[in-house]
Structure formats: C-alpha cells, structure tokens
Amino acid sequence: MARVAVFSAGSWGTAFGLVLADAGNDVTLWARRDEVCATINDKHENTDYFPGIELPSRVRATSNPDEALDGAEFVVLSVPSQSLRDNLTGWAPVIPEDAVFISLMKGVELGTTKRMSEVIAEVTGAGPERIAVVSGPNLAKEIAMREPAASVVACQDDDVAHRIQALCHSRAFRPYRSTDVLGCELGGAYKNVVGLCVGMAVGLGFGDNTTASVITRGLAETARLAMALGADPLTLMGLAGLGDLVATCSSPLSRNRTFGEKLGQGMTTEEIYATTSQVAEGAKSCSSILQLARDTGVDAPIAEHVDAVVRGEISARDMMDAFIARDTKAERD
C-alpha cells in the first residue's frame, strides 16, 4: 500500500485513481473546485464524469495541493498537457523530495516541443529515476467501469517501473513495463493527431477502407519520428503505440476522434471548443508535434494537414484530397 496524490479529478485522473485504489493504495485526488471534492468525499462519485460509478472508499478529494501531497510517495499528473508547466511550477515547492512522478498526459508542449517527462524534469529537477509515464489503450470511461484493459508503465529505471507496475495492477488493469519513455510518450501524443484525422474521415462519411488507411499511415508516421529521436520501434508496435492508436481511432468515447468528426462535419475549431468542456489533446498539440517533426527532418503529412485544418487554413475535404494527390512511392518510404 502506498499514498498517491493524483492531479487532477478529470476523467482519466479519476479513473486511474480508481485503479490505484482497487490495487490497495490510499489515493487523494486534487480537484480545482470544492464542490467536486465534496461530491467525491460525501457520495464517493465523480458526477461530472462518471455518474453512477461508485469510487472506492480509499479515494478522497481535496482542493488543497499541500493536503493532497502530504506524505505522497507517488504524484500522478493528469492535467491538460499545455497547462502542466504553470500548474507544476506552483505545486513543486511542496512535492516530497523523493516522490516519483507518474505522467498520464499525452501531448507535446507548444513553443518548446518538449514531452511531458521533459517538462517535469525541467520544472522540478527530478532525475529520470523519478519520472515515469503510463500509456496505452485506456479510454477513461471503460477503465472506470472496470472493463479489462492493459497499459505500459515506462521509466528509465526498471526498478521504479517494477514498483509502479505493482502499484497499479488491479483486478481489471494489467500493466506491462518498459524503459522506453520516449517511445511511449510519442506514441501517446501522436495517436491523438491521427485520431483527429480518422474522425474527420468519419465526419465526411467515409468508411473502413479510408480509416484503416489513415490509421496505418499514421502509425508509420509516428514510428518515423519516434525512431529518428531514438525510440525503440517495438514500442510503437505495442500497447503504447498501436494499441493506443486503435482505441483512439475506433471508439466514439475518444475525445480526439469526436473532435475530428465535428471538423469533418464542417464545424470550426472555435465552434467545437464552445460546445465542449473536455480537452482534445491532439487539437492542442498538433502544431508542436509538427514542429518537432520538422526540427527532426521527418516527413509528417498527417500532422501537417491536421494542423492546417485545426487552424482553419484548409477544410477536412481538402485534407483528404491532398493525401490522395501525394506522389506515389514504395510503402517503406
């Protein structure tokens, strides 16, 4: 049993907190709003995201970061990726010096093109042995409903990966481990961009041939960038790569696919933001992922065109037409 602080009480943070509690740990969720904390503590339910799903008694909530972090051995971070730096800068002074960070976030920071583990290291000074990521086909609602699922725990220190593996191995959640933090993070971030693209294809009315083609070429694009940066190609074939990609691109529960569908149906990015309170990480991170690919010298047509649609520079139909019009080449190229 360990004491774990989870920031924040959104859908994935709450679901992962449930997993941790099912595995026998004491979990404190940090929520921004007092009324969310009161509902979790009094009714054992997060009605904003999972109405009707009872949270374990080991889960409690607070809006006070100091209280959440008191005695925490592990600090789970599940805030929107573009707000991590500002939030973590405020929390860092009260985080226990030996606490291990676990990132659930799947994005690349705008401006710096840093992965979330790199932002954590930069803000807190934590070494790689104190920074881990969890990534895989983990749609939050299905996790909260305790449907069987698997994921990858990645840390450069395999002993720490072992500890976290034990920390979150519950009756419905099976974690595997890896030392390829880079590959896991890029797989998780890039699949959101591909999910947007697949959603646009669905929104335009296209069928399985089109979506399968986008998924496959999206995986190839992800692997090109990840390998160019030093990732293990096998990571992209596993749960944090192909597994996460399939879940995001196939499920109506995926925020990114849903966001893409609305773009394909003709809504603008601003109109979509105005009608939803949840963050589609791919819409926020596509430009930083594209910049990372350009800086690395990697061709990234899906990221390039998705970014253009999100910016309103082209339509989803223009994007699909542009893919077909690209020069033909050998598949391995």
pLDDT digits (tens, 9 = 90+) for 215-272: 999 999 999 999 999 999 999 999 999 999 999 999 999 999 999 999 999 999 999 9
Contact present, 232 and 180 (Cβ < 8 Å): yes
Residue 185 has pLDDT above 90, yes or no: yes
Distance, CA of 102 to CA of 154 (rounded, Å): 9
Distance, CA of 16 to CA of 133 (rounded, Å): 13
Least confident window among 167-171, 174-178, 265-269, 273-277: 273-277
Contact present, 81 and 54 (Cβ < 8 Å): no
Calculate mean pLDDT across residues 82-89.
97
The pLDDT assigned to 278 comes to: 74
Question: Which pair of structure tokens corresponds to residue 101?
Answer: 């960070």
Fold entry, domain 3-179 = Rossmann fold (3.40.50)
Residue 277 has pLDDT above 90, yes or no: no
pLDDT digits (tens, 9 = 90+) for 11-34: 999 999 999 999 999 999 999 999
Contact present, 36 and 9 (Cβ < 8 Å): yes
Distance, CA of 141 to CA of 285 (rounded, Å): 23
Distance, CA of 112 to CA of 108 (rounded, Å): 8
Distance, CA of 99 to CA of 74 (rounded, Å): 5
Distance, CA of 28 to CA of 30 (rounded, Å): 6
The pLDDT assigned to 182 comes to: 98
| Predicted TM-score (pTM) of this structure | 0.96
From residue 214, alpha-carbon distances to 188, 208, 224, 260 in Å are 16, 10, 15, 13
Q: Which residues are tagged catalytic?
A: 191
Distance, CA of 287 to CA of 189 (rounded, Å): 12
276 band by pLDDT with thresholds 50, 70 and 90 = confident
The pLDDT assigned to 167 comes to: 98
The segment(s) of the chain belonging to CATH 1.10.1040.10 are 189-325
CA atoms lying within 13 Å on the CB side of residue 241: 25
Distance, CA of 92 to CA of 112 (rounded, Å): 20
The pLDDT assigned to 232 comes to: 97
CATH number of 189-325: 1.10.1040.10
Question: Which pair of structure tokens corresponds to residue 324?
Answer: 């077909």
Question: Percent of the chain at pLDDT above 70?
Answer: 100
Calculate mean pLDDT across residues 148-164.
98
The segment(s) of the chain belonging to CATH 3.40.50.720 are 3-179
| Beta-ladder partners of 177 | 153
96 band by pLDDT with thresholds 50, 70 and 90 = very high
Size of the chain in residues: 333
